[in-house]
Amino acid sequence: MGRGVCAVEDPQGGSQSQLKESGSILWMNPKCNNGKLPPGSMGLPLLGETLQFFSPNTSSEISPFIKERMQKYGPLFKTSLVGRPVVISTDPDLNHFIFQQEGQLFQSWYPETFTDIFGRQNVGSLHGFMYKYLKNMVLNLFGPENIKNELLPEIEQSAQKKLRLWSSCESVELKEAIATMIFELSAKKLISYDSAEYRDNMRESFVAFIQGLISFPLDIPGTAYHKCMQGRKRAMKLLKEILHERRAMPEKQKGDFFDYVLQELKKEGTILTEAIALDLIFVLLFASFETTSLALTLAMKFLSDHPSVLKELTEEHEKIQRNRENADSGVTWKEYKSMTFTFQVINETMRLANIVPGIFRKALREIQFKGYTIPAGWAVMVCPPAVHLNPAKYKDPLAFNPWRWQDIELNGATRHFMAFGGGMRFCVGTDFTKVQMAVFLHCMVTRYR
């Protein structure tokens, strides 16, 4: 359990009932070697406060679990989730410190259930050289240079194609439609996947996976978590089949990420394994479409609810069109970089979307912070929604107001904005997400109502 949780001792040879009572007391009131732990409750033995933590939150506000404890204990409090002691931080200073000390005082860590879901060798669970190696692999595909030189026109073509299709429909289930659009593009660039060529639909496996992603980890038939794990198994099975097909026919290169992976696997002395490669592609498929589709759906909702924002956004993109020599030519990188108000809309959408409810790290050494001790080995959960909806930083925090980002340039995370994580693990897909959102909005407001 890490430093700070004492072992149960019974020097007097107490009865079983006394032992149980003693263990319960120690669970509820853990001690640390130096200083004092943050306030909070450890909940029930072993179960902790896991059930309350996983309770669904259907509002755009901070989850009730976090909000109630912030009011009771302040910006820093302890709890226990899935059998693990955790300090939850809603303090911007501590959050910033945690990201800056990645690999020194803290390292990436996620509960056992998350590693079961995303794979033992997923990029979030790897550290040091291996993490940097995989990060550079991903940047070859989703980095600014490749987006600028190759992906930008494909993103625009995909958006135009889908918008034309939707415009002929009576109604569109927007979140599902956008998710499918982005999944098709990501799957094509990653593994040249075409659903028409395979009996099993990979997109459907990811839908099952996503529905149980944030659920209580009970892996029995009928539960959301079980469906999630079954979705992962089906998706991984198909990915493995595709990888083996490609390895058997190395001469048939398709110019996708799988080609790059296969080249790395063939290198003498490579540190890449098939298991790591498959977990990486699985995580990339998930991250590249699910988070972006949610953000883009919310952006459309916010624009429909705020005509003044839609008006200014439309004016910005119509001006870009007017300044072209050929009005029908595609979006250029220079035009994309000039979309000032569009970036304000994206920032505000990401602030309110709070797609990532928590970012987990583990303390490598004992940490002293504002009079409290975080013991070595304890998990720490950074809570972005509590920072993004802080009224002390954002006036009327639940209001959609892109103008609050006027004259603010964001190239990374700050103490008060961490929609894409922070520190050395700042999301490598940030540029890809922003380009997809900006180009889709450009196509939308210049051609459709």
pLDDT in tens, 146-165: 899 889 999 999 999 999 99
For residue 159, what are the CA distances in angstroms to 57, 262, 400, 419? 31, 30, 25, 24
Provide the pLDDT for residue 7: 31
pLDDT band at 124 (very low <50, low <70, confident <90, very high): low
Domain containing residue 374: 1-119+358-388
What are the pLDDT digits (tens) for 130-141?
Answer: 777 778 888 888
Residue with tokens 């190696």: 133
Task: Answer whether residue 270 shows pLDDT above 90.
Answer: no
Considering only CA atoms, which of 102, 84, 185 is closest in space to residue 363?
102
The conformational region for residue 377 under phi > 0 = left, psi -120 to 50 = alpha, else beta, is left
Residue 362 lies in a domain: yes
Per-position DSSP letters for 116-163, written without gaps between them: HHH-TT-GGG--HHHHHHHHHHHHHHHSHHHIIIIIHHHHHHHHHHHH
* Residue 13, domain CATH: 3.30.43.20
Give Rg (Cα) of the chain: 24
Q: Rounded CA gap, 267 and 264, in Å?
A: 5
Neighbours of 320 (CB within 10 A): 19
Provide the pLDDT for residue 204: 74
Provide, rounded to the nearest whole percent, the portion of the chain with pLDDT above 90. Answer: 40
Residue 178 lies in a domain: no
Residue 89 lies in a domain: yes
Residue 47 lies in a domain: yes
What are the pLDDT digits (tens) for 208-236?
Answer: 666 666 667 777 888 878 888 888 888 88
Residue 22 lies in a domain: yes
Provide the pLDDT for residue 368: 92
Residue 99 lies in a domain: yes
- 193 by Cβ neighbours in 10 Å (0-12 / 13-18 / 19+) ranks as buried
Q: Is 427 annotated as a binding residue?
A: yes
Task: Answer whether residue 104 shows pLDDT above 80.
Answer: yes
Provide, rounded to the nearest whole percent, the portion of the chain with pLDDT above 70. Answer: 85
Mean pLDDT of 258-270: 86
Provide the pLDDT for residue 13: 40
pTM of the entire predicted model: 0.85
Residue 52 lies in a domain: yes
Give the DSSP letter of residue 108: E
Give the DSSP letter of residue 292: H
What are the pLDDT digits (tens) for 34-56?
Answer: 788 999 998 888 788 888 887 77
pLDDT band at 19 (very low <50, low <70, confident <90, very high): very low
Considering only CA atoms, which of 359, 348, 342, 347 is closest in space to residue 398?
348
Per-position DSSP letters for 47-76, written without gaps between them: TBTHHHHTS---SSS--HHHHHHHHHH-SE
Residue 324 lies in a domain: no
Question: Would you state the structure tokens that stand for residue 157, as one six-digit string?
Answer: 């073509």
Domain count, the chain: 1
What are the pLDDT digits (tens) for 81-95?
Answer: 878 899 999 999 999
